Amino acid sequence: MAVSIDVSVGVQLAGLRATTNLKQAQVAKKMTVPPTRVSRIESGDAKPSAEEIEQYLVALGTQEARDFAEYWGRDWSPLLRPPFDHPNQEEIWKAVELIHRLDDLLKDPDLKGVFLKQVDLYRTELVRLAEYLLSCDHKVVFIGPIGVGKSTTLCFLNDLVVGGKKGTKLSDQVILEAGGGGITLCEVHVQEGPHFGLIVEPLPEEAVRQDVADFCEYLLQSEGADRESLGISKEVIRAIRNMAGLQVTRRKQDGKLIRIDPAKALAAKYPSERELLVQILAMMDLPRRDKRDVWYPKGESASPSEWLKATFEAVNNGRHPEFSLPRRIEVVLPDSILQDDELTLRLIDTKGIDQTAKRQDLECHFDDPRAVTVLCSRFAAAPEPPLQSLLERATEAGIEKDSLELGTMILVLPRPEEAAEMKDDSGGRAADDEEGYLLKQEQIDIAISHLGLEGLEARFFNATSDDVDELRQALLAKVRGLRAGVCARIDTLEKTVEDLLENLDEEQTRAIFETVSKRLRTWLRTHSQLAGVPADTHRTLLQEVGGSHQRTLWAAVRRNGNWSNLNYYYQLGVGARRLAAKQFKGKVSSLIAVVDNLLEDSELDVAHSFLEQVKNKIREESTATLRRVQLAGRSAFESELRSDSTFWSRCDNEYGRGIGGYRDTVRGYTKDWFDQDPHKQLHSSVIKAIEEGWGSVITTVQGLVEAAPA
């Protein structure tokens, strides 16, 4: 039975009528119904019958109405009916038609057992691909170091700028606050909506309390203490100061600038961290800061752009009296994102990379099949080491090369005249920016060559001189490339299904498929087990602990390991996934090599389409299994470690040993924790998850090649 979005039919009919010169009353007259009935249908207040829809379309009499009649008459089960103007309506219908043909085939009692698993494989894959296309939601995610220009670029891409006099700085033109780095307080999303506005997701109150506690600790440090890093970001400190009315002021005295810090004065009055924390939280008045959204008001004298810029800056800096510290700010615009009317796009400006790029909020996007990840880099250092580290970690986590190249772009953001300063091998300067870009492209290619990502696209954009529409179109092409890849898979499956149906009754075809299945089953029997999986899930965590700044590490310790810049549990999950990926890599390559050998055999021609699907399924199941292992690696240790107050207190009490001393001490304590007998058993659960994960890959392939009873 078809599941249709019938509630939208009236709106779609109204849209069709809008392309004609007909009034509602004229349509009603042709349908021989009261005008109020047409009005209620178009508004969605009344659900039209199939006969009324047909009469309405006949009344319109346009080609588009006839096309809509054909579209509406289709049986879209087992999917939801896509909107009439869906950009991939025909590709989705192609998949649905193939699903219907396979469903009919499965009802055939004479279907040979050797083909049953194939039919089920094709059907499942077609449903998955069609559901991917059905949604038009995609993300374009900007990742890069602080101060690189992500926010400025994002604003230019979506016309988030305010008018200014000639020579106005870029940072004064853009709506999302920008500057020399350390400006954006949290992750910012830009999306389409009904009006100009902001939607703010606040930090949980306990997280705000912990941030304020870290600020208090900083205020109470002796002047000789290590003060080059706050642990928490300076953006958060700035917002806390503004929310509590503790802004630093400066005045001239005897020809010098005197810094007046009321927060330090308050710390002198309340020298206990607990007392100081209570005072600052009271001054912030969190119960009153319960607002979650704000919209451009009617009658506002400022333009929507000016209002949005001022309101965003107030929320981002903690100056808006009704908002708490935000975890995420969503900027809502009544315009299509990237000027595209077909897709539902969301631009994400991630929090800038400061001390480490190995963060969950950044790395999760490489796993998202609906996301385009834009790695933003300064020109001179492109691609910057943190970005190379992200790509390397993604490959070590088992993310496929093709997937990375398809969904990732390096975006180099030069300053004015920077590209023209490039020199070639002979020492000559570039003739212009374009030649400078080409020279830098060569350096980028060399820098990432060791990762094997030769197909990774790089683009350049100077906001003061380059055509922003070229970059806009390039990003849209990346998004459409994701969808085009899915459409290509449907086309391949169409040929596969046609081949199957054409050769279904031939005994020779059955014999060929049995030969192919036998070869694959032989490999599966001899490679069904993993051997010698090491119990070192925590290796990745220890590396990150050893490489962290001591105040970042201490901030993580004070939060029992749950800290955005250094999350113990996330790193444990990544460690488990990397361990599994290393175990899987050789076996998956070997299995795919067997499939490739079968594909090279011309006598097995009739099974080639099936074998291509097997290859795809091997890769998909392997990737899905690695994600499950990552979750298992995190959950295996989290409960025990998070609740071990003795361990965290011990690490906390060691703070002050100096940068290297504290890091090494906590790293040692962490290693000891995982080596203790009670916790060694937790390693075994991760190893079991990895072994069962490989078993899942084996079982999946076996299910494709083991014939069901005839």
pLDDT along the chain (710 residues), means of 10: 52 92 94 94 90 94 94 93 93 97 88 78 93 97 93 93 68 79 85 96 94 91 53 87 94 83 94 95 96 95 94 95 96 95 96 88 95 96 93 94 95 89 81 89 90 92 93 98 96 90 80 89 93 90 92 92 94 96 94 96 89 91 95 95 96 78 93 90 92 94 68
Residue 254: predicted pLDDT = 79
CA-based nearest residue to 667, from 570, 556, 533, 579: 556
- Can you point out the beta strands (E) in 230-285? 249-253, 256-260
CA 479, 484, 485, 487 torsion-angle sign: positive
> Rounded to 5, what percent of the chain is helix, strand, coil?
60, 10, 30
CA-based nearest residue to 444, from 410, 396, 416, 420: 410
Contact 147, 181 (CB under 8 A): yes
Query: Model pTM?
Result: 0.92
**Structural tokens at position 339:** 């000027």
**Structural tokens at position 270:** 């309340």
> What gap in Å lies between CA 345 and CA 331, rounded to an integer?
13
Residue 375, phi then psi, degrees to nearest 5: -90, 110
Q: What is the pLDDT of residues 531-566, one digit of tens each?
A: 889 988 999 999 999 998 888 899 999 999 999 889
Residue 708: predicted pLDDT = 41
CB neighbour class for 55 (10 Å; exposed up to 12, middle 13-18, buried from 19): middle
Helix, strand or coil for residue 372? strand
Strand partners, 258: 251
> What gap in Å lies between CA 563 and CA 664, rounded to an integer?
19
Residues recorded for the chain: 710
Residue 672, phi then psi, degrees to nearest 5: -60, -40
Residue 631: predicted pLDDT = 96
Can you give the C-alpha Rg of the chain in angstroms? 30
**Half-sphere CA count of 233, side-chain side, radius 13 A:** 22
Residue 391: predicted pLDDT = 96
H or E segment to which residue 437 belongs: helix 433-448
Strand partners, 349: 142, 188
